[in-house]
């Protein structure tokens, strides 16, 4: 743009409960931006986002990560922000600063993540492709399907994939899912803060492009009741010792420990996840725990390739589509690399699976 001015889209998470929603607004700043420090702090009215009361409503936006804006292009940018209180301390809804501290503490273990984001595309109040009355044909042909009447929403899905690539996100693929109207994309492999910030930006891009395509994604773990697959956020995870020779033993030890801390983990794995994790549709009930090689009915799957090579990663199949990656990565790192995850340390977790 002219005069060295660029558009910076400031993106943050609001105070919605039980699941935060994305918010954003545009600031015209001096560009081009070369580093994070070039992007100024900003503020917003927290009383409109469930983050403050009307009397004392200013919250601050602290830029923490940015990418090129793949929609407006040029020098324009998308900026992921942490929310701070007016005095500069982290806001109670700011989960990122907790992950930042945990990631730094255990950085010598070099944790990597790849998150599979499932979602359901809606048009008005039913998933894309669903009839106005009744149901579509039963599940079977839709997973990785192709053809008119078999998949719905591909123009948006492709535009989203291209936008993520143009933004430089570590997006690794996309596929149509088991339920009609359901899709998936994967972000990673990347470190904990990177994968989390990128997942939020990828979700923002999907919501934003959906405005142009007349569809919107829902991250609901069980959007359609009955014999229809839920939507998950399988989280693939490894540390350096897991990726090295003999890593399979470290992976098995980690699975045992994840079993011990299963209730603590489930508390932050997404609101409404108990409806999805019922024991069918390639899930294990949230009340049980098991891990297994190549087992898509387990809580944790050790991929075949990892078992064959004797090193690699594990797939935590429990997180729901509405997961907060800052919380999931914190939980996995603390249980694997530290003493074990406790959501009470951070005031996290609305759902108690032991009840």
Q: How far apart are CA 108 and CA 164, in angstroms?
A: 29
Distance CA 183, CA 57 (A): 38
Task: Tell me: does residue 182 bind ligand ADP (CB under 6 A).
Answer: no
Interaction partner, residue 265 (ligand ADP, Mn ion, none; CB < 5-8 Å by kind)? none
Q: Is 247 in the site for ligand ADP (CB under 6 A)?
A: no
Minimum CB distance to Mn ion, residue 315 (Å): 6
Give the separation between CA 150 and CA 8, rounded to whole angstroms: 38
- Does 186 help bind ligand ADP (rule: CB under 6 A)? yes
DSSP one-letter code for 300: E
Residue of 208, 243, 257, 287 interacting with ligand ADP (CB under 6 A): 243
Does residue 184 belong to the site contacting Mn ion (CB under 5 A)? yes
In whole angstroms, give the CA distance from residue 170 to residue 113: 11
Would you count residue 238 as binding ligand ADP (CB under 6 A)? yes
In whole angstroms, what is the distance from residue 324 CA to residue 98 CA? 12
How many residues of this chain bind ligand ADP (CB under 6 A)? 16
| C-alpha 129, offset from chain centre | 25
Whole-number Å distance between alpha carbons of 143 and 16: 32
Among 234, 262, 265, 311, binds Mn ion (CB under 5 A): 234
Answer yes or no whether residue 313 interacts with ligand ADP by CB under 6 A: yes
For residue 129, the SS3 value is coil
CA 192 to chain centre: 11
Smallest distance from Mn ion to CB 129, Å: 18
Name residue, tokens 């009307």: 54
- Smallest separation, CB 305 to ligand ADP (Å): 9
> Of these partners, Mn ion, ligand ADP, none, which one is at the site of residue 185 (CB under 5 to 8 Å by kind)?
none
What does each C-alpha distance from 348 to 98, 104, 268, 327 come to in angstroms?
A: 11, 20, 7, 8
Vertex 321, ends 78 and 231: CA angle to 5°? Answer: 135
Residue 112 is a binding residue for ligand ADP (CB under 6 A): yes
Segment lying near Mn ion (by CB under 5 A), choices 41-49, 180-188, 260-268, 284-292:
180-188
Which residue, 80 or 176, has its beta carbon nearer to Mn ion? Answer: 176
Residues that bind ligand ADP (CB under 6 A): 112-114, 116, 172, 186, 188-189, 234, 236-238, 243, 312-313, 315
Residues that bind Mn ion (CB under 5 A): 116, 184, 234
């Amino acid at each position: 743009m002219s005069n060295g001015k660029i558009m910076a889209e400031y993106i943050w998470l609001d105070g919605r409960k039980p699941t935060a929603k994305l918010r954003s607004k545009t600031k015209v700043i001096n560009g081009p931006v070369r580093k994070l420090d070039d992007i100024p702090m900003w503020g917003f009215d927290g009383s409109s986002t469930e983050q403050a009361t009307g009397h004392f409503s200013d919250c601050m936006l602290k830029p923490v990560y940015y990418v090129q804006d793949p929609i407006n292009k040029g020098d324009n940018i998308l900026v992921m922000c942490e929310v701070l209180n007016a005095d500069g301390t982290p806001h109670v809804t700011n989960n990122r600063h907790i992950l930042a501290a945990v990631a730094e503490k255990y950085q010598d273990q070099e944790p990597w993540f790849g998150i599979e984001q499932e979602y359901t595309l809606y048009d008005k109040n039913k998933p894309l492709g669903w009839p106005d009355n009744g149901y579509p044909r039963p599940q079977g042909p839709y997973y990785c399907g192709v053809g008119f009447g078999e998949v719905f929403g591909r123009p948006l899905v492709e535009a989203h994939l291209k936008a993520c690539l143009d933004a430089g996100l570590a997006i690794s693929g996309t596929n149509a899912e088991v339920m009609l109207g359901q899709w998936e994309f994967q972000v990673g492999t990347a470190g904990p803060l990177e994968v989390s910030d990128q997942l939020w930006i990828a979700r923002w891009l999907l919501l934003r492009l959906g405005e142009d395509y007349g569809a919107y994604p829902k991250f609901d773990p069980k959007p359609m009741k009955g014999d229809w697959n839920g939507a998950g956020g399988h989280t693939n995870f490894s540390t350096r010792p897991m990726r090295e020779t003999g890593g399979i033993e470290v992976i098995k030890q980690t699975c045992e420990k994840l079993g011990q801390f299963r209730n603590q983990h489930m508390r932050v794995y997404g609101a409404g996840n108990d409806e999805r994790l019922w024991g069918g549709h390639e899930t294990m009930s949230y009340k049980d725990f098991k891990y297994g090689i190549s087992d898509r009915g387990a809580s944790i799957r050790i991929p075949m390739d990892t078992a064959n090579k004797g090193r690699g990663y594990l797939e935590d199949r429990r997180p729901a589509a509405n997961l907060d990656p800052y919380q999931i990565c914190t939980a996995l790192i603390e249980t694997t690399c530290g003493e074990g995850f406790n959501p009470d340390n951070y005031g996290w977790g609305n759902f108690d699976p032991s009840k």
